[in-house]
Amino acid sequence: MRSPTFDKLFAMLTAASLSKAELAQLREWLAGVAHPGECVALIEHAARGRPCPHCQCSRSHRCGQASGLQRFRCVGCGRTYNALTGTPLARLRKKEHWLTFLQCVLDSRTVRQAATITGVHLTTSFRWRHRFVPGTRDRPR
């Protein structure tokens, strides 16, 4: 059985109504991530073997790195992509703060509190809230 791609995993998490025990387990796992750079490794591991988000071709090759993520070039359409292309987290910066911010979202902190704890600007925290919390976007990008 193939493991789910990052897109499917993120969609399942956002669609699921988690119990208090499941939320506690997720919080414990997030707190156990030792290094903030580990977030990038987790994303790349979840997206391994993912087809091209533009044409769904399964053939691609490595094509350098950008913003700390491995880039791939599709053999079918020639376009490049990374593990976040086509996801709600695409084009967001400061990946090293995402797990801390996600912990704040799980703790139901305000946007202002999350910004202070995470160490990002208030508008960044507001923007991230709309990407991380399900059902806030009207149309897919």
Task: Decide if 125 contacts 133 (C-beta within 8 A).
Answer: no
C-alpha gyration radius of the chain: 16
Average pLDDT on 132-138 reads 59
Q: How many residues does the chain have?
A: 141
Task: Decide if 98 contacts 90 (C-beta within 8 A).
Answer: no
Q: Which two tokens stand for residue 114?
A: 């999350």
Q: Which helix (H) or strand (E) holds 61?
A: strand 60-66
pLDDT at 137 (0 to 100): 46
Say if pTM beats, i.e. exceeds, 0.75: no
* Amino acid at the residue 16: A
pLDDT top residue among 51 and 1: 51
pLDDT at 121 (0 to 100): 94
Task: Decide if 74 contacts 57 (C-beta within 8 A).
Answer: yes
pLDDT top residue among 91 and 136: 91
Average pLDDT on 38-58 reads 79
Where do the domains of the chain lie? 6-48+88-132
Average pLDDT on 29-44 reads 65
> What confidence tens digit (pLDDT) does each residue in 50-85 have?
888 889 998 988 888 887 788 899 999 999 998 888
> What confidence tens digit (pLDDT) does each residue in 103-117 have?
888 888 899 999 999
